[in-house]
């Protein structure tokens, strides 16, 4: 395959990604921009006549922006929504993390997927962040992306059905996320400054996947202390970052890797189904221990699909603020713990 010469193929790829992202969002598909980038990259890599090479700098910038976006989930209002339930919620989050690692290890033993790739593919929450850091952690980001978004797709389909079939509607609980919007220029300055500073801080600390975790940690501290002033990553900027990550991953596909994905599909779907059942059991435990409804506990512990979960919470009258708080806390825990998980599994392999 010949390398690309000129901007034409890049402009065509950008147009296809933008169109796919818009259509995907209109259809209610979560992470539509990342998925559109992944699919366009895959088509170019496997069937294209010219080779697109994205480079490290745009990928690192995309990681940093996603890190800032994830860090802003740590709002004081989010943590206060946990109230006196913080201990059982933390225990359930840790148990979910253990279940995902166990599912990954079992999947690796049953197939030819290496343990770090299988574990990251099964991590329940923060799909975009996990995909963005997986290559830095030595995992196969192509398989991680397929497993992560297959799990999200299953959750998106099943959660509204479960909400409609299993639960009756109740009184609505409004969710409050963040504070007043300080304006586009302040959001842009916050995003650029925290992304750059987070990457710089991560280098001397030798953080694994520092381009993502450094900005995430810094944005989280600023959001929790109120120093961010309610600033967040502008929507369009975040979508471009997601698209860049998806494109980079998609461009790494080959026909051999596609055949591998098809061969592994039954195993991955089985692992996802088992994970969903186990998380439902954890929801039952959480509802008994914390004295909350099974609906609230079930939606709070669903392994991913945040936007579908929140939409279901609103339509069924669940405590949306509590559901958002638990899902956001678990998202941060999963992404923060991922490097340590991979190091442990890699060491066990040697």
- pLDDT score, position 191: 96
209 domain residue, yes or no: yes
Q: How far is CA 181 from CA 79, 178, 184, 204, 228, in A?
A: 20, 9, 8, 33, 11
* Full domain range(s) for residue 128: 56-237+264-349
Residue 38 and residue 144 in contact, taking contact as beta carbons nearer than 8 Å:
no
Q: What angle do CA 29, 30, 32 make, to 5 degrees?
A: 75
Q: In whole numbers, what is the pLDDT of the chain averaged over residues?
A: 83
Give how far the C-alpha of residue 324 lies from the chain's centroid of Cα atoms, to the nearest Å. 14
Tens digit of each residue's pLDDT (9 = 90 or more) over 139-164: 998 899 888 888 877 886 777 667 66
174 domain residue, yes or no: yes
48 domain residue, yes or no: no
- pLDDT score, position 174: 44
125 domain residue, yes or no: yes
13 domain residue, yes or no: no
Q: Does the predicted TM-score (pTM) go above 0.75?
A: no
164 domain residue, yes or no: yes
User: How many folded domains does the chain comprise?
Assistant: 1
Tens digit of each residue's pLDDT (9 = 90 or more) over 233-273: 998 999 999 899 889 888 888 888 888 888 999 999 999 99
- pLDDT score, position 179: 54
| Average pLDDT estimate for 59-63 | 90
Proportion of the chain in helix, strand, coil states, percent, rounded to 5: 75, 0, 25
250 domain residue, yes or no: no
210 domain residue, yes or no: yes
Give me the DSSP letters along 50-63.
Answer: EE----HHHHHHHH
Question: For 6, phi and psi rounded to 5 degrees?
Answer: 95, 165
Element holding 236 (H helix, E strand):
helix 235-250
Tens digit of each residue's pLDDT (9 = 90 or more) over 175-220: 444 555 678 999 999 999 999 999 999 888 877 778 888 998 899 8
- pLDDT score, position 260: 86
């Amino acid at each position: 395959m010949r390398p690309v010469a000129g901007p034409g193929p890049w402009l065509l790829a950008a147009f296809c990604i933008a169109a796919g992202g818009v259509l995907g969002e209109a259809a209610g598909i979560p992470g539509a921009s990342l998925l559109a980038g992944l699919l366009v990259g895959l088509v170019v890599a496997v069937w294209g006549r010219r080779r697109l090479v994205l480079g490290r700098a745009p990928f690192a910038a995309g990681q940093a922006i996603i890190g800032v976006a994830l860090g802003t989930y740590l709002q004081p209002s989010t943590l206060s929504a946990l109230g006196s339930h913080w201990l059982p919620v933390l225990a359930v989050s840790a148990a979910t993390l253990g279940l995902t690692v166990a599912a990954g290890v079992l999947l690796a033993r049953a197939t030819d997927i290496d343990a770090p790739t299988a574990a990251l593919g099964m991590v329940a929450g923060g799909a975009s962040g996990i995909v963005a850091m997986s290559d830095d952690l030595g995992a196969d980001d192509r398989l991680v992306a397929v497993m992560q978004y297959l799990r999200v797709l299953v959750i998106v389909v099943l959660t509204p059905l479960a909400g409609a079939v299993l639960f009756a509607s109740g009184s609505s609980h409004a969710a409050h996320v963040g504070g007043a919007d300080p304006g586009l220029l302040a959001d842009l300055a916050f995003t650029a400054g925290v992304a750059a500073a987070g990457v710089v801080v991560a280098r001397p600390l030798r953080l694994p996947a520092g381009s993502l975790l450094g900005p995430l940690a810094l944005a989280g501290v600023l959001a929790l202390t109120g120093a961010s002033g309610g600033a967040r990553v502008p929507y369009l900027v975040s979508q471009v970052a997601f698209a860049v990550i998806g494109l980079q991953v998609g461009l790494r596909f080959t026909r051999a890797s596609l055949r591998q994905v098809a061969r592994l599909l039954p195993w991955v779907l089985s692992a996802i189904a088992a994970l969903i059942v186990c998380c439902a059991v954890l929801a039952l435990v959480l509802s008994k221990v914390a004295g909350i409804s099974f609906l609230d506990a079930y939606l709070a512990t669903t392994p991913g699909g945040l936007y579908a979960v929140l939409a279901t919470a609103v339509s069924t009258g669940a405590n949306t603020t509590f559901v958002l708080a638990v899902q956001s806390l678990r998202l941060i825990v999963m992404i923060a713990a991922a490097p340590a998980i991979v190091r442990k599994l890699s060491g066990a392999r040697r």
